[in-house]
Structure 1
Amino acid sequence: MKFDTPAGINPIDQEKVVGKPHPRIEGPLKTTGRAVYSYENHEAAPKAAYGYVVGSAIAKGRISSMDLREAEAAPGALGIVTADNAGPIKTQGFYVAKPLAGPEIEHYHQAIALVVAETFEQARHAASLIRVDYARGQGAFDLAAARGGAKPHQRQPDVRVGDFDKAFASAPVK
């Protein structure tokens, strides 16, 4: 496909889309806080639990201790998932940091716990009751040194099926 001719006049060129008000059917509900979101459909999922992620307060180091007692006793708290009780969690692909840290902290605000409760507000409150002691580690701030052993990301092989050029040539709309 070549883009060697102008596309012609379109709604963006005519300044009829960007920067213009467009009434949306859900607009008034969302802007007034009355919109119902899927997680609020309690008939579809009665007694659904809510989670709140607790992020690390340091960027590099270790969790020395995590006191969950107050959070576990908080009203509505159903459970707390940490690296100690989550079982093995592997990294995948080019994501090199563990999704749930413990005891090693690899980046700021890395998830260290997930508090589950009867309501979102209860989960957030219980999360605020978790007390974490950290052993701060030394960060790496020299980009040139860090890039020394870096390798470019190896892309996955092309897995497209079919003949694009043939299909595009016979397409009714181009």
Structure 2
Amino acid sequence: MIKLTINDIVHEVDADADMPLLWAIRDLIGLTGTKFGCGMAQCGACTVHLDGSPVRSCQTFVGDIGDAKITTIEGLKGKVADTVKTVWADLDVPQCGYCQSGQIMSATDLLANNPKPTDEDIDGAMAGNLCRCATYQRIRAGIHEAAKRLEA
């Protein structure tokens, strides 16, 4: 049994140490907001926060987590997260929406660490998150709008 603290709840999972965190979150815990995209940590759909920093859960193994706290899209909260989620809805940022949980996880981390990001900052922070619908301009606009609302 491996103990994982996900969204402030301790879960004991019967998993091999080399199981990707993504599958523990989705299949063993039942939180399906974190998506499978590529399985190679290249698309960002599976992004979660590990002790507050974004990681790709498809290539993070449950045996390597230790006492770290995991936050999924379902547990993402706070002023920055709430603002990002609100802006995403207000500006209709997603198209199909599949990648958006990973996009929101990365955008929240960016704004938590850089409250006034430039386009270059946004492009750098979001580079590991792919969107098949190519809503990159809307994602960038959403991040800028969230930064403005957080500043107000």
Interval containing the TM-score (normalised by the shorter chain): under 0.3
The TM-score, its normalising length taken from structure 1, stands at 0.23
Larger radius of gyration: 1
Greater strand proportion:
1
The TM-score, its normalising length taken from structure 2, stands at 0.25
